[in-house]
Structure 1
């Protein structure tokens, strides 16, 4: 990659190569939603300012990488957090953030409703900002903002997010700080729902996860357990499969998951720390029209809030405490795919 001076000799504006631009969608269910479009060479993605600064569509080297559900791109709806109706507002995208009081299935506890995958995923960001500038010899795009999940006489949790990408590095870094600004201990459940779709995902795809043990969630998943690491052709009305992974990691606790397509020569690697996110679930659907792999690092189990309450293992955050989480999405090509697979094998030695 050329250095700063060489780049500026060759371009009139760095926007030839990299930019962040605010946009507002004007039609359909997405009407009025504010977002940011980002270009970083062959990597393009969008960040929803009105929905937790989550990632929608992502493309790399001209190929789509992400999954979009049948309702399509949408903003916030009146039924977003109304129990199982959430399935009408979960649009997928490259990332949607689940939490903070609940993840996975909706439930009712002590007369209080906790919607499917929680409320934070539809919470608009406050104090939103975007920048593109030189930091030394690196040209960096950054987007930041704060989401608040709060209730009168209830919780007061904030999630401050910063998303960065550096020119010449096909990577998106997501750094989160979750703070309890209330005066009581609160449950804090968090799951990052990272969704891979066609054409990256197809029968040519391989799922590489340095897993020590794979546990099917239920009978449906058990019937597909031997195929957890690859995709089949779409099949009409096939049930979803969910697998729980016991992840191997390096000495610092770092690990990753990878979806790769050798025919296209591209892949997506998700890196995180098992110290911050000790659970990892894999969602697999080969159903026609719902064709997706979900990679899901989390601080809680897919079995949800009632399970953790029963097991006395519900993750909680103390008043005025802050927890930090970091995810890196790296978009790979060529020989980088083989190197990532080799690294996964090393983790298991």
Structure 2
């Protein structure tokens, strides 16, 4: 792969020149609406966004407007678990003692929320003022990922020098005498470039004070995830790590090869923020030929988890910005860090994803991360 290949240079000419060379600009970039038609994915609507430089992302309308497959110039980026993008009608949110969410875990982005994320449990629900509902029970990472979205708009906004592909959808998570939250999500892909942006706004449409937690489970697979691949981040310290870290000893910053019966390792890293108030991390192959860089607003999601699932057949890494510490909802309610939304309150989140193609791109990403002030991580 090469950032300056002949096609990339040719397609950057003005749009008026591209029109002279093709009867349809979809030859270069487009958004295609698709409905899956087989197996447990039958009926799942998606939007396939493809730009002029070989970036392809799949927005799963019926899976919370999350992101399924991501490819760059034919190279897979997203992690695939084997679950598939099953239709929400097949999902039982309350099953398996709250762990049924693991059956929806597949693809590049699986969102947790909107009123709960992290591990589940039973929590006080008196703020909803409905006597028969004294408590509410949540499973792992909440209900959001199994809710269908409503597609609001699809826009191929060509300009004379490029343009943007843009889709907007919304997901409403609601129940009578409970939460009534709306996620409005905008996903943009530039006609020219190797990245995309996710803009989210969560609003309380209800009239009761409602808790809000939000998490992005951004999942990356082979060939970005491979033996020797490097995690880059301005890590100040490790706030928490799973017991499996000490038992298995795989480091947080350099990946090991797939291992039989590997038990997931999770780290919560305290990251330094840049001068512009953003967090930035990257995952880069050992040979420096390819990688993924994330940048997001540190104020919106101040916490960050690194999920290492290095088991054979499940080999992948999750990069997870979060509104809350790993200790979860009970601790957040107790220590006052829970986010409560009154009627009409909104919170916004913005994340940028860049695919790093070639040694110059990965070196530049490493330099951007290292330029953020931070001290060496301590266990």
Q: Secondary structure at the match of 1:287?
A: coil
- What's 2:115 paired with? 101
Deviation readout 1:266-297 (Å, 9 max, x if unpaired):
11111101111111111111111221110011
Q: Is the 8 A contact 2:14 2:160 kept in 1?
A: no
Measure the CA separation in 1 of the matches of 2:86 and 2:71: 19
The alpha-carbon deviation at position 156 of structure 1 amounts to: 1.0
Measure the CA separation in 1 of the matches of 2:60 and 2:299: 28
Number of corresponding residues: 349
- What's 1:220 paired with? 244
Equivalent positions of 1:9-24 (< 5 A) are 9-24=20-35
The answer to whether residue 56 in structure 2 is matched with residue 44 in structure 1 is: yes
- What's 1:154 paired with? 178
Greater mean alpha carbon deviation, residues 300-309 or residues 270-279: 300-309
- What's 1:7 paired with? 18
The answer to whether residue 158 in structure 2 is matched with residue 131 in structure 1 is: no
The alpha-carbon deviation at position 84 of structure 1 amounts to: 2.8
The alpha-carbon deviation at position 133 of structure 1 amounts to: 2.4
327, 336, 344: which one aligns with 2:361? 336
The alpha-carbon deviation at position 129 of structure 1 amounts to: 2.4
Q: In the superposition, relative to structure 1, how do residues 279 and 308 fare at CA in structure 2: closer, same or farther (>3 Å)?
A: same
Q: In the superposition, relative to structure 1, how do residues 262 and 239 fare at CA in structure 2: closer, same or farther (>3 Å)?
A: closer
Deviation readout 1:246-276 (Å, 9 max, x if unpaired):
1111122112111111537111111101111
Equivalent positions of 1:222-237 (< 5 A) are 222-223=246-247, 227-237=251-261
> Which one has the largest radius of gyration?
2
The answer to whether residue 324 in structure 2 is matched with residue 324 in structure 1 is: no
Q: In the superposition, relative to structure 1, how do residues 137 and 197 fare at CA in structure 2: closer, same or farther (>3 Å)?
A: same
- What's 1:253 paired with? 277
The alpha-carbon deviation at position 105 of structure 1 amounts to: 1.4
Q: Secondary structure at the match of 1:290?
A: coil
Measure the CA separation in 2 of the matches of 1:246 and 1:91: 25
Measure the CA separation in 1 of the matches of 2:286 and 2:17: 33
> Please, what TM-score do these two structures have when normalized by structure 1?
0.95
Q: In the superposition, relative to structure 1, how do residues 132 and 58 fare at CA in structure 2: closer, same or farther (>3 Å)?
A: same
Structure 2: runs of 5 or more not aligned:
1-11, 125-134, 375-379
> Please, what TM-score do these two structures have when normalized by structure 2?
0.87
Measure the CA separation in 2 of the matches of 1:222 and 1:249: 28
- What's 1:54 paired with? 66
Q: In the superposition, relative to structure 1, how do residues 66 and 117 fare at CA in structure 2: closer, same or farther (>3 Å)?
A: same
357, 370, 373: which one aligns with 1:345? 370
Measure the CA separation in 2 of the matches of 1:238 and 1:226: 10
Q: Is the 8 A contact 1:149 1:157 kept in 2?
A: yes
